Amino acid sequence: MTLTELKRGQKAIIKDVSSIHIPLKLLEMGCLPGNYVELVQVAPFADPMYLNINGSHLAIRRETANYILIESTDE
C-alpha cells in the first residue's frame, strides 16, 4: 500500500521510495526504506500530510505520498 492509505495516528514501515519521483531532499530528511513513518495530522481534504518520519516531523503533499510504499505495523 502507499503512504496515502495511512490513517491519522497510524504507524508503518517504509518499504520503497521511487527515487525518480522523490527528490533527494526528502530522502535526506529520513524518508528511506526501513524507517518508520507516522501520520500526525492532515490538513482539510487530507492534503498536505503531516508526518513523523524516523523522528523528523515534516509535511508533504498527497501526490508525493503516492510514490512512497509502506507496510503497516498495526496488528
Partner 1 sequence: MSKQINVALIGNPNTGKTSVFNALTGLNQKVGNYPGITVEKKEGVCKLSRNLKAHIIDLPGTYSLNASSLDENVVIELLLNKNDKDFPDVAVVISDVENLKRNLLLFTQIKDLEIPAILVINMSDRMAYKGISLDIEYLEEQLKTKIALVSTRKNKGIEDLKTLISNYKALNTEPCLDASVIDKDYFDNLRKAFPNQLLYKLWLVITQDVNFGKVTRNEFDSIEDFKTKSSAELKKLQQKETIKRYQFINDTLKKGQTIDLKTAKDIRIKLDRILTHKVWGYLIFAIILLLIFQAIYDWSSVPMDFIDSTFAALSEWTRSVLPDGIFTSLLGEGIIPGLGGIVIFIPQIAFLFLFISVLEESGYMSRVVFLMDRIMRRFGLSGKSVVPLISGTACAIPAIMATRNIESWKERLITILVTPFTTCSARLPVYLIIIALVIPEGRFLGLSYQALTLMLLYLIGFATAVGSAYLLNKVLKIRSKSFFVIEMPNYKLPLFKNVALTVVEKTKAFVFGAGKIILAISVVLWFLASFGPGENFNNAEQIVTENWASQELTENELQQKIASYKLEHSFIGITGRAIEPAIRPLGYDWKIGIAILSSFAAREVFVGTLATIYSVGSDEEETIKNRMAGEVNPILGGPLFNLASGISLLLFYAFAMQCMSTLAIVKRETNSWKWPILQLVVMSVFAYLVALAAFQILK
**Residues within the interface to partner 1 (CB under 8 A):** 17, 19-20, 23-30, 32-33, 35, 40-41, 43-45, 47-48, 50, 54-61, 63-64
Closest approach of Cβ 35 to partner 1, in Å?
A: 8
The secondary structure of the chain, three-state, reads CEHHHCCCCCEEEEEEECCCCCCHHHHHCCCCCCCEEEEEEECHHHCCEEEEECCEEEEECHHHHCCEEEEECCC
Closest approach of Cβ 75 to partner 1, in Å?
A: 20
Query: Residue 5 or residue 28: which is nearer to partner 1 going by CB?
Result: 28
